[in-house]
Chains A and B, each alone.
Chain A
Amino acid sequence: MEVSTLSDVHGLNTAKAIFAMSEFIKNMEDTEIKPYLDEVVKILVVYITGEGQMKDCRYTALEALSNIVVAAQELILPYREDLINTLYEIVKNVDKNIQQIRGQALLGAGTLLQVGGKDDRMQTALEEFTKFALECLKEVDTDVVLRQTAISFFSEICKV
């Protein structure tokens, strides 16, 4: 599936559409989400992984992913491993220009790990996420939101 943001205005509108969908889905029952889950996950992954996408789109898509995981609960399990790997690739990218995006990916990872429980196949990813979360907490200059994100991540994985 190919999607692209043609201009800044188009990108912002796409981000708003993703936000609208995210808000809609987060209040749905898992049985209501089921018919759309496959398509929603595919679309979000395209926006999350598209390095050419506007930051707003990537960030909003990551936020949407967290909401969808919470709403879908165990229905997300078939997608979990691939999603964790996708988020892992974002977090291990040390480009400081995407710190906010890395933070949101961390939050998504925490939510995914909490829904599915412990899985030894994700040990490497879990270590990388934990390492990044600790960096966020230690850095005095880090955005407060990033530190809060790190705390939320630890709160989620404590439930695993």
Chain B
Amino acid sequence: MKILGYVSDSDGLLDFIKDDIEEHTDNLIKALNDPSEEVREACALVVGMFSENVVPEFLEMHEKVMPVLLNMIKS
């Protein structure tokens, strides 16, 4: 997951992420609910990276992403 975050920062590879953003978002959300705190921490970082680089496609996934982030913060 973390690698994907760094890849999103690359102009050359960004389109590959944007093309499959729905699948990547679903995987990210699954990982945000991972029992391991380390995995959740890494995914939080990826959310930040995607939010900056994969726009507007990732932001359009807000109905999926926001509830999960809010849950993470409340738990």
Q: Could you list which residues of chain A lie within 8 angstroms of chain B, going by C-beta atoms? A: 1, 3, 9-10, 12-14, 16-21, 23-24, 26-28, 32, 36, 39-40, 43, 47
Chain B binding surface, main DSSP class: helix
For the complex, give the distance between the alpha carbons of A40 and B74 in Å.
10
Nearest Cβ on chain A to B50's Cβ, whole angstroms:
8
Are B70 and A21 interface neighbours, CB within 8 A? yes
B44 in complex: contacting residue of A9, A20, A26, A40, CB < 8 Å:
A20
Beyond A20-B45, A21-B69, is A28–B59 a contact (Cβ under 8 Å)? Answer: yes
Q: Does B47 contact A (CB under 8 A)?
A: yes
- Count residues of chain B with CB under 8 A from any CB of chain A: 20
Are B74 and A23 interface neighbours, CB within 8 A? no
Are A43 and B73 interface neighbours, CB within 8 A? yes
Chain A binding surface, main DSSP class: helix
- The 8 A-B residue pairs whose C-beta atoms are closest, nearest first, are A20-B47, A20-B44, A23-B48, A17-B72, A16-B44, A23-B51, A21-B69, A24-B51
Beyond A16-B44, A23-B47, is A9–B66 a contact (Cβ under 8 Å)? Answer: no
For the complex, give the distance between the alpha carbons of A20 and B32 in Å.
11
Beyond A14-B73, A27-B52, A36-B70, is A19–B44 a contact (Cβ under 8 Å)? Answer: yes
For the complex, give the distance between the alpha carbons of A75 and B6 in Å.
33
